[in-house]
Amino acid sequence: MKATYSTLMQSKFFNPAFNSAIFDGPVRIYFAQFHESLALKIYFALQQKFAAELAQAKEVHQEMGRTVLVMLYPSEESFSMSFENEPDFLAIDDLFDDTIIGVNGPFEDDKLSAVLNKVVGAMKNWETLPRPMLAEATL
């Protein structure tokens, strides 16, 4: 993660209701404790449906430190404080080299695929970014 945790906490994307998180390599999910089951549903669905994409993203994460931060806002009001004038259920933005995906409050199961596709799309976008040149070791 290029942005530090303190930078995230001081950004417009952080909400004081975020008192829990799931960290797994290139994906971090922030949520209020009462949305734990929804956050776990996102996490496990990513693991089951997009294992290959996550493996690729883990390589990029190790090389470049990029992370997708999924922010599961507890309400429409909290979502709109971070993503002003965003009419959609999902919003995307950047915080330094990390990608922020805002989710407008809790959602029903029929919207889970939209969340997963947004996360995977953000990780696939990393493939288009230049990677740092790795210095070859000389003997």
Listed by start position, the domains of the chain span 5-127
pTM exceeds 0.85 = yes
Structural tokens at position 67:
């992370």
End-to-end CA distance of the chain: 32
3-state secondary structure of 51: helix
Beta bridge partners of 21: 30
Query: Quick one: pLDDT at residue 138?
Result: 39
Q: Which residue has the higher pLDDT, 134 or 104?
A: 104
- Residue 58's Cβ-side half-sphere holds a number of Cα atoms within 13 Å equal to 10
- Tell me which CATH code domain 5-127 carries: 3.40.30
pLDDT band at residue 134 using 50, 70 and 90 as cut-offs: very low
Tens digits of per-residue pLDDT, 66-104? 899 999 999 999 999 999 888 889 999 999 889 999 999
What is d(CA 139, CA 133) in angstroms, rounded to the nearest whole number?
19
Q: Inform me whether the pLDDT recorded for 109 exceeds 80.
A: yes
Tens digits of per-residue pLDDT, 13-37? 999 999 999 999 899 999 999 999 9
